């Protein structure tokens, strides 16, 4: 019995190592962790595999049924979590080589007007870092609509995008309050593409009733500016629900770190 | 919820594995007493070694527990080992730099974070050294026993060649590391499950409403730090996103989480005597609350 349980323990560690190693090489990784940590997860996976093989050959220590049970539960959770909620059939497709990626243009021209691509989380972080948006700067941004009683009273809605720093545990949906102009009412949970500009508010508005979105259980909007929408278009949800934004100094030119879909 | 739990385990597993391997290496190759003899005998020297150890050998909070328990086993004074265990996940260049970036270059927040953690870790280490640690051994029942035949390896008889011993060195170390990882991994998984459940079912609107009060906001953010189990490298970015709470509450979040959270509490109560585990939970919590309140409002005033 002891040998059996220790073998099972070793097999679970091996399974965890293999899961980390395989997941780190797939696009589905972005539904669990920030892709910049792929090498760390892969290295951890390799280490765990080696340690598990050594443990299976020379098992040691006391048995602990609760420990075995915990790892069994983790195995079931991993099976349930699978490839995350990525859209498209290639949840576990190996990511393309860096050479195949083309640096996307950070601007889009619509009706002769240049719009800077920026996702709602990046707008939030840059404004929060004190990088004031130039009054004549036009933006194109995509996100999920979130409505709340407070925002409804103000005639606005929140445009959000789930932002992950390390892993899903720290994901927060962040974005902007949007003044929709003459656009028809939108439903919460709808994905939209909005063109417009940012207008600072004279008095900050604290929105404290946003609650959760599908991407993150906590949502926050920048409270000292509003996004004035010139046009709003409903779109299909993007393939990658999350973005991986960090505050920037604003001194470097904008790069779309997550490819063409991260705005 | 399953994805959140799995992502927490995946994020922490490499660090826990590193800590487990270091712990196994200390257990097998560090002579008991030698390391302790190298540590100064005075309290300030011991404290300095614990704090500077964190800067020199940064390790995530998940990895610091197995390493600290092994250092204690090897005779390292609690003032040094416990201080190291609590301070290392924060007082290191990587985490301090991430704090600087997350708070838009606010150096006051960086210094405040380092000060709060250093003071809390030092006080906790000092209290553990004063007797709260109890018997100067960690819980022996939970020590990962060496693999079969290990004793023959350590006290190798003369007929075992040096070459054979060298050959089994790495597999033995890996096997011990895996055993250590299994011991600690149990608490990581339980903590991740609890954290994922809290994250999904917590009434966030109530949290946001409570965070509106300056005094309550510190308590609320500290509670969140314990419940969410966010890694010390990432928590500054999360805290900076809580734009509605004062800096004192953000400081409470980024200082407590690296010392006390759900997964760490499980590890503390498994590894240390109950009295020590309570000290490890209560003292940092009280220190963080008081110091965050004081320094946070100084940050705001500055």
Residue of A nearest to B193 (CA): A74
Task: Tell me the two tokens of residue A53.
Answer: 């093989």
Q: What is the mean pLDDT of chain A?
A: 81
Asked if the Cβ–Cβ distance from B190 to A51 is below 8 Å, we say no
Chain A CB within 8 Å of residue B61 CB: no
The predicted model gives B166-188 an average pLDDT of: 82
Q: Which residues of B touch A58 (CB under 8 A)?
A: 147-149, 171-172, 175
pLDDT bracket for residue B4 (50, 70, 90):
confident
Asked if the Cβ–Cβ distance from A169 to B230 is below 8 Å, we say yes
Of A61 and B289, the structure prediction assigns the larger pLDDT to B289
Q: Which of A71, A99, A127 is the last residue of a domain?
A: A99
State the pTM of this model. 0.75
Instruction: Please indicate, yes or no, whether residues A118 and A231 belong to a single structural domain of this protein.
Output: yes
The size of the A-B interface in CB pairs under 8 A is: 206
Instruction: Please indicate, yes or no, whether residues A221 and A184 belong to a single structural domain of this protein.
Output: yes
The predicted model gives A35-53 an average pLDDT of: 90
Q: Which residues of B touch A212 (CB under 8 A)?
A: 204
| C-alpha radius of gyration, chain A, whole number | 22
Instruction: Please indicate, yes or no, whether residues A79 and A140 belong to a single structural domain of this protein.
Output: no
Q: What is the CATH number of the domain that holds A202?
A: 2.40.50.140
Instruction: Please indicate, yes or no, whether residues A19 and A139 belong to a single structural domain of this protein.
Output: no
Out of A189-203, B55-69, B125-139, the most confident range is A189-203
Positive or negative torsion for Cα B95, B97, B98, B102: positive
Chain A CB within 8 Å of residue B176 CB: yes
Q: Which residues of A touch B242 (CB under 8 A)?
A: 220
Task: Tell me the two tokens of residue A211.
Answer: 């609650």
Residue of B nearest to A122 (CA): B241
Q: Strands A191-200 and A157-163, how do they pair?
A: unpaired
Instruction: Please indicate, yes or no, whether residues A70 and A136 belong to a single structural domain of this protein.
Output: no
Q: How far is A111 from chain B (nearest CA, A)?
A: 35
ipTM above 0.90, yes or no: no
Instruction: Please indicate, yes or no, whether residues A167 and A193 belong to a single structural domain of this protein.
Output: yes
Instruction: Please indicate, yes or no, whether residues A57 and A147 belong to a single structural domain of this protein.
Output: no
Chain A CB within 8 Å of residue B237 CB: yes
Q: Which of A39, A66, A99 is the last residue of a domain?
A: A99
Count helices and strands (H / E) in chain A.
5, 8
Asked if the Cβ–Cβ distance from B21 to A51 is below 8 Å, we say yes
Chain A CB within 8 Å of residue B182 CB: yes
Instruction: Please indicate, yes or no, whether residues A74 and A144 belong to a single structural domain of this protein.
Output: no
pLDDT of residue B157: 47
Asked if the Cβ–Cβ distance from A247 to B240 is below 8 Å, we say yes
Of B151 and A227, the structure prediction assigns the larger pLDDT to A227
Q: What is the mean pLDDT of chain B?
A: 79
Residue A8: domain span: 2-99
Instruction: Please indicate, yes or no, whether residues A159 and A39 belong to a single structural domain of this protein.
Output: no
Residue of B nearest to A208 (CA): B208
Instruction: Please indicate, yes or no, whether residues A196 and A238 belong to a single structural domain of this protein.
Output: yes
Say how many domains are in chain A.
2
Asked if the Cβ–Cβ distance from A170 to B237 is below 8 Å, we say yes
Which of A136-140, A211-215, B130-134, B148-152 has the weakest average pLDDT? B148-152
Of B143 and A154, the structure prediction assigns the larger pLDDT to A154
Which of A255-259, B29-33, B42-46, B287-291 has the weakest average pLDDT? A255-259
The predicted model gives B84-99 an average pLDDT of: 86
Instruction: Please indicate, yes or no, whether residues A111 and A176 belong to a single structural domain of this protein.
Output: yes
pLDDT of residue A96: 53
Q: Is the pLDDT of residue A247 over 50?
A: yes
Instruction: Please indicate, yes or no, whether residues A239 and A143 belong to a single structural domain of this protein.
Output: yes
Chain A CB within 8 Å of residue B193 CB: yes
Q: Which of A76, A99, A122 is the last residue of a domain?
A: A99
Facing residue for B102 by CB, picked from A40, A53, A247? A247
- According to DSSP, residue A68 is labeled H
The predicted model gives A174-195 an average pLDDT of: 84
Helix or strand holding residue A219 (H, E): strand A219-234
């Amino acid at each position: 019995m002891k040998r059996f349980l220790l073998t099972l323990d070793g097999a679970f560690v091996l399974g965890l190592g293999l899961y980390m190693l395989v997941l780190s090489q797939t696009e589905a990784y972005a539904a669990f962790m920030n892709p910049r940590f792929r090498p760390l997860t892969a290295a951890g996976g390799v280490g765990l595999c080696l340690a598990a093989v050594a443990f299976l050959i020379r098992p040691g220590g006391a048995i602990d049924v609760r420990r075995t049970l915990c790892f069994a539960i983790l195995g079931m959770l991993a099976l349930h979590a699978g490839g995350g909620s990525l859209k498209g059939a290639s949840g576990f497709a190996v990511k393309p080589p860096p050479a195949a990626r083309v640096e996307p243009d950070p601007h889009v021209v619509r009706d002769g007007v240049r719009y800077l691509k920026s996702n709602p989380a990046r707008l939030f972080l840059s404004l929060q870092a004190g990088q004031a948006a130039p009054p004549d700067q036009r933006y194109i941004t995509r996100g999920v609509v979130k409505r709340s009683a407070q925002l409804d009273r103000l005639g606005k809605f929140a445009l959000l995008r789930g932002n992950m720093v390390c892993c899903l545990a720290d994901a927060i949906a962040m974005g902007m309050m949007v003044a929709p102009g003459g656009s028809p009412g939108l439903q919460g949970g709808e994905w939209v593409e909005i063109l417009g500009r940012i207008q600072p508010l004279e008095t900050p508005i604290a929105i404290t009733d946003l609650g959760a979105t599908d991407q993150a259980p906590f949502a926050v909007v920048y409270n000292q500016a509003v996004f004035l929408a010139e046009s709003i278009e409903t779109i299909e949800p993007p393939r990658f629900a999350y973005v991986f934004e960090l505050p920037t100094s604003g001194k470097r030119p904008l790069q779309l770190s997550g490819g063409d879909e991260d705005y | 919820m399953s994805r959140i739990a799995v992502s927490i385990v995946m994020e922490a597993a490499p660090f826990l594995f590193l800590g487990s391997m270091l712990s196994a290496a200390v257990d097998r190759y560090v002579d008991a007493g030698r390391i302790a003899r190298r540590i100064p005998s005075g309290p300030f020297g011991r404290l300095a070694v614990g704090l500077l150890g964190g800067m020199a050998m940064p390790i995530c909070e998940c990895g610091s527990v197995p390493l600290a328990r092994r250092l204690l086993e090897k005779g390292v004074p609690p003032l040094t080992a416990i201080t190291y265990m609590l301070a290392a996940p924060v007082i290191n260049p990587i985490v301090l730099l991430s704090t600087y970036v997350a708070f838009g270059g606010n150096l006051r927040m960086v210094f405040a974070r380092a000060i709060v953690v250093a003071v809390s870790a030092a006080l906790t280490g000092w209290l553990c050294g004063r007797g709260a640690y109890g018997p100067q051994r960690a819980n022996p029942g939970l020590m990962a026993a060496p693999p079969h035949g290990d004793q023959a390896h350590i006290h190798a008889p003369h007929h075992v060649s040096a070459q054979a011993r060298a050959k089994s060195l790495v597999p033995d170390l890996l096997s011990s590391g895996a055993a250590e990882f299994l011991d600690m991994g149990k608490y990581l998984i339980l903590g991740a499950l609890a954290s994922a459940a809290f994250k999904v079912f917590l009434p966030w609107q109530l949290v946001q409403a409570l965070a509106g009060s300056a005094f309550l906001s510190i308590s609320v953010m500290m509670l969140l730090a314990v419940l969410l189990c966010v890694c010390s490298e990432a928590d500054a970015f999360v805290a900076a996103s809580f734009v509605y709470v004062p800096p004192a509450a953000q400081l409470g979040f980024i200082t407590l989480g690296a010392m006390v959270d759900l997964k760490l509490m499980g590890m503390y109560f498994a590894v240390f005597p109950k009295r020590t585990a309570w000290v490890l939970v209560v003292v940092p919590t009280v220190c963080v609350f008081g110091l965050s309140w004081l320094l946070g409002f100084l940050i705001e005033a500055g």
